[in-house]
Amino acid sequence: MVLAQGLGSSPYSALGIGELYPTGNVTNLGMGGIGISNASPFYLNLQNPALLGSRPPYTVFEVGLVGQSKTISQNIGNETQVQRSFGGNLGYLALAFPASSRWSMALSLRPYTFVNYDITQTSRLVGTTAAAQYNYSGRGGLNKASFATGYRLYKNIFVGAEGSFMFGNITNSSDARVVIEQLGVGAQDTRVNRLSRANYSDIVWKLGLAWRPKLNQDWTLNLGATYDPATKVKGTETEIYQQTTLAGLNLGVADTLRNNATGRTTLPQQANFGISIERANRLLVGVDVGFQQWGKYKTLNDQLGKLKDGMNVAAGIEYTPKPSSNKYTDLITYRAGFQYNKLPYVVQGAQINDINGSLGLSLPVGAYYVNHVTLSVIGGQRGVLSSTQIREQYVRIAIGFSLTDRWFRKPVID
């Protein structure tokens, strides 16, 4: 059992800038992650900044926590190797507040990616009795501190934008040594190490649009879209080469290949579209589709990152028995969803898929039941069990707390 940072150990986090965290809040995660077109007066949804303009004049503060248990499997030779890990992290902090009856703003802090992997490979050196052992490891990740705003432009048309300061660092290390299988000699006492540390900091943007026309007195149609333009994120990178003993003692002075070399990593453009239909805060059914041009991702030294374009499809449902009731059980909200992701990772020419399903519920708490505790559970699998791919089976648990109040009210004297 391995206790790790992020959401647990994942070999796929060695690629690109690491594993992407889920973009939705806990309420979204319980219904497949959908959130491009659907909004709620009781919970925050920051996936489309335009939907902030549809919020009632209430201030909402939310905290989300995410934990994940994962089983990693691979066929090596005639055996199935299995590793289990668990990781947890703060999912997000978010605060939304009104600026006017048709304009709201939000501040949030959330992790964007995480890197956490340890990989060991051994291969026979041709023509010798020796084997080469290679070790790869990585830690770190990127975070986003965001300011978002949404405005009701005309009737049921909303526009919005989000500016985020992206920051963080990623450390990747690799080493190699030759294992001698000759009697009396033992293991070779020299290890060749290479360490790379990259620091990132820059501004990234997102634009949002939503249209929410009333179909009749009870039903509303929701349409939404977001666009993340391609962005060159500034960063610095240091690479060090060194020889050590197996015990870690230095054999000579380290050779610095790059020392705080500046560069820009290219994050690709992304587009997301959503459609949903809802009945007066009681029933909502929706579908989201997203496209990401990860094939155009470039590293800090302007090299292609060997990724492929990704896409995702999600469907979800949300149901509250009777939102106008005073009976507690009528106010509990239930959710379910499904998600299919074509990930940007390619292994031996095959692109990795991620399929998961989710369940969730929100329990009202406090005076007037306007605050909520939300729980979402997601179970899924990525990759397949083979000699070339690694299968990851995971159960992700997210819990969120939503506090609602009315701020900035002018005092009234009777």
pLDDT, tens digit, for every residue of 82-133? 888 888 889 999 999 999 989 999 999 999 999 999 888 887 777 777 778 8
| Mean per-residue pLDDT, 316-334 | 94
Can you give the pLDDT at residue 332?
Answer: 96
Q: Domain ranges in the chain?
A: 2-405
Q: Using 50, 70 and 90 to split pLDDT, how confident is the model at 411? A: low
Can you give the pLDDT at residue 2?
Answer: 36
Element containing residue 26 per DSSP (H, E):
helix 26-29
Residue 203, φ and ψ in degrees, nearest 5: -100, 135
* C-alpha 19 chain-centroid distance: 7
pTM for the full predicted model = 0.89
pLDDT at 404 over 80: yes
Can you give the pLDDT at residue 264?
Answer: 95
Maximum mean pLDDT: which of 64-78, 124-138, 222-236, 380-394 = 222-236
Check if the beta carbon of residue 201 is closer than 8 Å to that of residue 236.
no
Q: Using 50, 70 and 90 to split pLDDT, how confident is the model at 322? A: very high
2-405 maps to CATH 2.40.160.60:
yes
Residue 412: strand pairing partners = none
Half-sphere exposure of 36 (CA within 13 A, CB side): 27
| Mean per-residue pLDDT, 252-272 | 89
Residue 290: strand pairing partners = 272, 312
Q: Using 50, 70 and 90 to split pLDDT, how confident is the model at 410? A: low
Q: State the amino acid at position 272 in one-letter form.
A: N
Can you give the pLDDT at residue 74?
Answer: 83
Percent over 70 (pLDDT), the chain: 93
Q: What is the pLDDT of residues 177-196, one digit of tens each?
A: 877 654 344 444 678 889 99
Can you give the pLDDT at residue 77?
Answer: 72
- Tally Cβ neighbours within 10 Å of residue 63: 16
